[in-house]
Amino acid sequence: MRFSFAIQLSTALLWAASAWAVEVKTATHLSSFAWRHSADWFGGYSALHVSDDGHQMIVLSDRAVLVRAAISRDRDNITGVRITGNWPVLSSTGRPLSGRAGDSEGIAVTSDGGFFISFEGVHRVARYAGPGAKAQVLPRPKAFKGLSGNGSLEALAIDGKGWLYTLPEKSRTDQGDIPVYRWDGKVWSTPFVLPQRDDFLPVSADFGPDGRFYVLERKLSLIGFQSRLRRWQITKGVPIAEETLFTTGTGAHDNLEGLSVWRDDQARLRATMISDDNFMALQRTELVEYLLPD
């Protein structure tokens, strides 16, 4: 696993690919929905996956709680959310996770109904056959050991081959880029890096039905959060044609941390995002949707 060599090579390829840049396109805000529930485990949502029809979702709390819910819609607006199940995320021995070991941040759902979860406190990725199943922890590469304790594997995505991609919120290469780690079912590698732009930090990622790689980022100031969504085409293993789809003003949304990209019944690309309220009364759990250009 020659991570440093892969990073240097990917950086060179990124600069070479800059000539492929496309005209920046923008996204359109469709709706925002404040989701409330009285359970003490409700909140802290850091990841989500929306079904192909947009009416079901899986959400993941950063306190190791998994929730299934049904989404009610009226055209382009979310009108309600109904919880249909909730489960603790378990360890490899079948015990509910808690504390640093239970800092669950990213989710990637597989075609067979299983899913992978990335963790931040103890840097790792684990596979689950379904809700309530024991963890099958993937091998951990040496590169994970040097990651920031409170800013590591926030984002997790799965491509059409079933390969996993994860990236840290805060840790950067020596050149200041965002390293992307890939699990191909056998080994971890660092196939490419992404350019760090301004002070935004990556918090979620997804491969859309268009095959492009989407990354949700946030920036925190004293008066609130800003959010940004970028995407790339992955061509021959290299990210090209970077686009910034939106950058919000401060306070436009709450602390958006989860991302799912899908197509609606009109074949339009949508991005659904969820906010982490940090279990604080001054914040809210918010579902936010944008229409994306193709």
pLDDT at 149: 83
Q: Please tell me what DSSP assigns to residue 249.
A: P
Share of the chain above pLDDT 70, in %: 91
Residue 173 domain boundaries:
3-292
Which candidate, 195, 262, 255, 188, places its Cα nearest to that of 219?
A: 255
Report pLDDT digits (tens) over 62-115.
999 999 999 999 999 999 999 999 999 999 999 999 999 999 999 999 999 999
pTM (predicted TM-score): 0.91
Q: In sequence order, what are the beta bridge partners of 34?
A: 286
Q: Name the burial class of residue 175, with classes exposed (0-12), middle (13-18) and buried (19+) by CB atoms within 10 angstroms of its CB.
A: exposed
Mean pLDDT over residues 203-223, rounded? Answer: 96
> In 3-state terms, what secondary structure has residue 146?
helix
243 pLDDT above the threshold of 70: yes
Please check the confidence at residue 23 and state whether its pLDDT lies above 60.
no
**Does the pLDDT value for residue 19 go beyond 60?**
no
Residue 144's Cβ-side half-sphere holds a number of Cα atoms within 13 Å equal to 20
Mean pLDDT of all residues in 15-42: 75
As a whole number of angstroms, the distance between CA 29 and CA 90 comes to 36
Q: Which pLDDT belongs to residue 9?
A: 41
pLDDT at 195 over 90: yes
Q: Is the dihedral of CA 207, 211, 212, 213 positive or negative?
A: positive
The DSSP secondary structure of 98-137, one letter per residue, reads -GGGG-EEEEEE-TTS-EEEEETTTTEEEEESSTTPPPEE
Report the 10 Å Cβ neighbour count for 59: 26
Percent of the chain at pLDDT exceeding 90: 88
Q: Which helix (H) or strand (E) holds 8?
A: helix 3-16
Read off the CATH number of the domain in which 116 is found: 2.115.10
What's the confidence (pLDDT) of residue 216?
A: 98
Q: How far is CA 119 from CA 19, 70, 127, 166, 249, in A?
A: 36, 26, 11, 10, 29
* 20, pLDDT greater than 60: no
Give how many domains the chain has, as a whole number.
1
What is the pLDDT, as a whole number, of residue 15? 40
- Cβ(140)–Cβ(189) below 8 Å: no
For residue range 118-166, list pLDDT tens digits in order: 999 999 999 999 999 999 999 999 999 989 888 999 999 999 999 999 9
Q: Is the pLDDT of residue 14 over 60?
A: no
pLDDT-derived band at 167, boundaries 50, 70, 90: very high
Say if CB 238 and CB 13 are below 8 A apart: yes
Residue 150's pLDDT is 86
Write out the H or E segment, with its range, that includes residue 139. none
Q: CA angle 109-120-138, nearest 5°?
A: 55
| pLDDT per residue as tens digits for the range 43-56 | 999 999 999 999 99
pLDDT in tens, 249-264: 999 999 999 999 999 9
Q: Is the pLDDT of residue 13 over 70?
A: no
Return the pLDDT at 25. 67
pLDDT at 290: 98
Q: What is the pLDDT of residue 222?
A: 86
* pLDDT of 278 higher than 90: yes
Rounded CA gap, 73 and 153, in Å? 32
